[in-house]
C-alpha cells in the first residue's frame, strides 16, 4: 500500500513566529489595504507600533501607488458630510450597456458608510473606524460606552463653525472654517483613513497701513496643499497673502509650511495677481505645482520645488463662451495623476461639452474629447434638466487602445461613460438613511463655487 503524504499544518507557534518576525511581517502588511491596517493596530502592541511607524506608512504608500478613489465628498459639513461611495464600481465591468440597451445591472451598490464616521470609546479614550473595509458597512456597530466621533465635527465644535473641504490631494483633505472672516484663519489637514487631523495657523504678518491710514494684517487670499507620496512622505501648504492687507491686492507674498520641518517660511519672491483668477477656489496640485484656474480657462501655477510661478493663457475659442451661462466646472487631475482636465458646462446645452487636456509641459489646453450625452437621456431623463455631475475622468484598464471614461452622478445612480466607444455602464446607489436620492448626493451644478472632492485610502501622516 502506497504511503500517503500530507502537508503539515501551520502550528500556532509557527504563526506566532511569522507574526513576530519584523521583516516578514512588514512585507506582508505593506500589501494590505490601508483601512484594514487601521483595525490591525488592535492585534497587539507590536502591530500597533509597526503600523503607526512613519517609515512603514511611507513604505505602504510606495507599495500601493495607484490606490483607487473610494468616494467623492461634497465640500461642506453644514449637514453631515454627503458623499458617494465608489468601491463597488467593479460590478459595472460586468454590466456594460450600450446607449440603446434597457437592461438594468442586477444588484445595487452596498457601501453606505462614511469614512469620516468613527467610534469613540469613552472608557479607553481611543478612536477607531466603525468598519475597516472601505465604505462597506450599513451602520455603525453597537459598542458599549461608545459614541459617534467625527474628526471634523470635533474641529467645528471647537471653533463653533462648520468646516469646509477646500482641496483633496492624494488621500489628504485641506479644510478650513466655513464662515470665518479672520485674516489668519485656522486650517486643517485631515486623513479620513487614519482619523488624524492637524491644525495649522499661518504665522502672523507685520501690520500694514491701508490708503485710509488703518493698520491691518495682510489677508490670506489662497491656501493650497501639495502632497506627492511617491516623492516624499511629507506635505507642504502654500499660502498667498496680499501685501497691502486688502482682499483685492495686486501682489502676493508666498508663505510655505513644511510638515517635515513643522515650520512656516516666507519666500523672498512675490507673485503678481491675475485679476481674472478667483484664487480662493479652483486650485489643485498637479505636475509638481499648485495650479489655479482663471475665469476663462487660464492657468496660473506655482512650482513647489523650484519656487517659481508662471501663467498659461487659454485657447482663443474659450473667450467666445458666455461665462454668465456657465452652469458648472470640472478642473481636476486624472486618476493616475498624469493629466489635467477642464470641463465647462454651459446653458442651454449641458449635455454637449468639450474635455480639455493640459500639455504636460504646460504648452496649453487642447481638445481631448467632444462629448454628446444626448443619447443617454432616454435612459437617464434627468440629464435633460442638467441633473448630473461629472465626478472624475479615468483611464479604462484592460483596454488595447487608450480609452477614458467619465464617471457621472445623477440622482440615485452612477454612470461610467466610455468616451471612445460611446457605451455606458450604470449602478444603483443603495438607499441611505437621511439621504433623498431624488436629489444629487454631491452637487456642483447649482452652486458653481461648490466642488466635489475624491477620497482615497492612505496611511500618510498629517503631523
Angle between helix 45-52 and 22-29 (nearest 10): 60
Instruction: For residues 19 and 136, state if they share a domain.
Output: no
The count of residues in the chain is 463
Please tell me whether residues 434 and 326 are part of one structural domain: yes
Q: Count the helix, strand and coil residues of the chain and give each as a percent rounded to the nearest 5.
A: 15, 35, 50
d(CA 294, CA 167): 17
State which residues of the chain have pLDDT below 70. 1-20, 76-81, 87-161, 179-183, 319, 397-401, 433-434, 443-450
Q: What is the reported pLDDT for 87? A: 63
The reply to whether 116 and 51 lie within a common domain is no
Residue 359 shares a structural domain with residue 235: yes
Tell me: do 54 and 164 sit in the same domain.
no
User: Would you say 153 and 127 are in contact if contact means Cβ atoms under 8 Å apart?
Assistant: no
Does any domain span residue 3? no
Same domain, 233 and 355: yes
- 22 belongs to a structural domain: yes
CB atoms inside a 10 Å sphere around CB 261: 10
pLDDT at position 212 is: 76
Q: Which runs of consecutive H residues, i.e. helices, occur in 338-384?
A: none
Is the preceding peptide bond at 361 cis, omega within 30 degrees of 0?
no
Alpha carbons 24 and 350: distance in angstroms, whole number: 54
Give yes or no: residues 49 and 162 share one domain.
no
Phi and psi, residue 437, nearest 5°:
-85, 10
Query: Hey, is 54 helix, strand or coil?
Result: helix
C-alpha distances out from residue 303 to 16, 171, 232, 288, 338, Å: 49, 21, 16, 6, 16
Instruction: Please give the Cα distance from 8 to 26 (Å, whole number).
Output: 25
pLDDT for residue 263: 96
**What is the spatial distance between Cα 238 and Cα 126, in angstroms, rounded to a whole number?**
32
Sheet holding 424-428, edge to edge: 96-97, 424-428, 413-418, 404-410, 389-395
Alpha helices in 236-391 (DSSP H): none
| Closest by CA position to 196, among listed 139, 118, 131 | 118
Looking at the structure, tell me whether residues 100 and 52 fall in a common domain: no
Task: Specify whether the CB–CB gap between 343 and 330 falls below 8 A.
Answer: yes
Q: What residues make up the domain containing 339? A: 65-456
Both 286 and 396 in one domain: the answer is: yes
- Domain CATH code at residue 357: 2.130.10
Query: Per the domain annotation, does 8 fall within a domain?
Result: no
SS3 331: strand
Same domain for 436 and 337? yes
216 domain-assigned: yes
Distance CA 80, CA 423 (A): 35
Q: How many domains does the chain have?
A: 2
- On whether residue 101 sits in a domain, the answer given is yes
Whether residue 108 lies inside any domain: the answer is yes
Bridging pattern class, strands 96-97 and 118-121? unpaired
Same domain assignment for residues 20 and 95: no
Has residue 211 been placed in a domain?
yes
CA–CA distance, 222 with 252 (Å, rounded to integer) = 10
The answer to whether residues 203 and 264 touch, using CB atoms and an 8 Å cutoff, is: yes
User: Global pTM?
Assistant: 0.81
C-alpha to C-alpha distance for 262 and 280, rounded to whole angstroms = 24
For residues 262 and 274, the answer to whether their CB atoms sit within 8 Å is no
Contact between 166 and 223 (Cβ < 8 Å): yes
For residues 179 and 65, what is the distance between their CA atoms, to the nearest angstrom?
A: 36
Query: Are 33 and 161 members of one domain?
Result: no
In a domain, 1, yes or no: no
Nearest to 233 by CA among 255, 260, 262, 194: 260
Write down the pLDDT at residue 254: 94
Specify the pLDDT at position 185: 81
Amino acid at each position: 500500500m502506497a504511503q500517503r503524504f500530507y502537508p503539515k499544518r501551520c502550528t500556532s507557534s509557527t504563526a506566532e513566529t511569522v507574526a513576530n518576525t519584523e521583516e516578514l511581517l512588514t512585507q506582508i502588511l505593506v500589501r494590505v489595504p490601508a483601512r484594514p491596517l487601521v483595525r490591525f493596530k488592535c492585534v497587539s502592541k507590536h502591530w500597533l507600533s509597526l503600523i503607526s511607524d512613519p517609515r512603514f506608512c511611507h513604505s505602504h504608500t510606495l507599495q500601493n501607488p495607484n490606490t483607487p478613489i473610494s468616494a467623492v465628498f461634497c465640500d461642506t459639513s453644514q449637514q453631515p458630510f454627503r458623499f458617494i461611495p465608489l468601491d463597488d464600481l467593479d460590478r459595472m465591468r460586468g454590466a456594460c450597456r450600450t446607449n440603446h440597451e434597457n437592461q438594468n445591472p442586477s444588484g445595487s451598490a452596498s457601501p453606505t458608510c462614511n469614512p469620516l464616521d468613527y467610534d469613540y470609546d469613552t472608557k479607553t479614550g481611543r478612536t477607531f473606524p466603525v468598519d475597516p473595509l472601505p465604505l462597506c458597512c450599513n451602520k455603525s456597530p453597537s459598542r458599549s460606552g461608545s459614541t459617534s466621533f467625527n474628526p471634523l465635527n470635533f474641529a467645528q465644535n471647537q471653533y463653533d463653525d462648520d468646516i469646509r473641504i477646500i482641496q483633496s490631494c492624494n488621500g489628504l483633505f485641506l479644510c478650513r472654517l466655513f464662515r470665518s472672516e479672520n485674516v489668519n484663519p485656522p486650517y486643517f489637514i485631515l486623513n479620513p483613513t487614519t482619523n488624524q487631523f492637524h491644525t495649522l495657523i499661518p504665522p502672523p504678518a507685520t501690520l500694514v497701513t491701508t490708503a485710509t491710514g488703518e493698520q491691518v494684517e495682510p489677508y490670506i487670499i489662497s491656501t493650497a496643499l501639495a502632497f506627492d507620496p511617491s516623492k516624499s512622505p511629507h506635505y507642504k501648504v502654500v499660502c498667498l497673502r496680499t501685501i497691502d492687507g486688502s482682499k483685492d491686492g495686486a501682489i502676493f507674498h508666498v508663505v510655505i509650511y513644511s510638515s517635515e520641518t513643522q515650520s512656516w517660511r516666507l519666500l523672498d519672491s512675490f507673485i503678481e495677481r491675475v485679476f481674472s483668477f478667483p484664487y480662493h477656489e479652483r486650485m489643485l496640485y498637479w505636475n509638481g505645482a499648485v495650479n489655479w484656474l482663471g475665469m476663462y480657462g487660464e492657468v496660473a501655477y506655482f512650482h513647489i520645488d523650484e519656487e517659481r510661478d508662471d501663467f498659461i493663457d487659454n485657447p482663443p475659442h474659450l473667450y467666445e463662451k458666455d461665462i454668465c451661462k456657465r452652469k458648472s466646472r470640472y478642473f481636476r487631475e486624472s486618476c493616475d495623476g498624469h493629466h489635467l482636465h477642464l470641463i465647462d458646462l454651459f446653458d442651454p446645452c449641458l449635455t454637449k461639452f468639450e474635455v480639455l487636456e493640459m500639455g504636460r509641459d504646460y504648452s496649453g489646453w487642447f481638445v481631448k474629447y467632444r462629448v454628446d450625452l444626448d443619447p443617454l437621456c432616454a435612459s437617464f431623463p434627468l440629464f435633460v434638466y442638467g441633473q448630473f455631475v461629472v465626478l472624475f475622468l479615468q483611464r479604462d484598464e484592460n483596454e488595447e487602445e487608450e480609452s477614458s471614461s467619465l464617471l457621472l452622478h445623477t440622482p440615485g445612480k452612477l454612470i461610467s461613460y466610455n468616451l471612445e466607444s460611446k457605451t455606458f455602464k450604470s449602478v444603483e446607489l443603495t438607499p441611505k438613511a437621511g439621504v433623498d436620492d431624488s436629489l444629487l448626493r454631491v452637487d456642483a451644478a447649482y452652486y458653481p463655487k461648490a466642488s466635489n472632492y475624491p477620497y482615497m485610502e492612505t496611511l500618510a501622516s498629517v503631523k
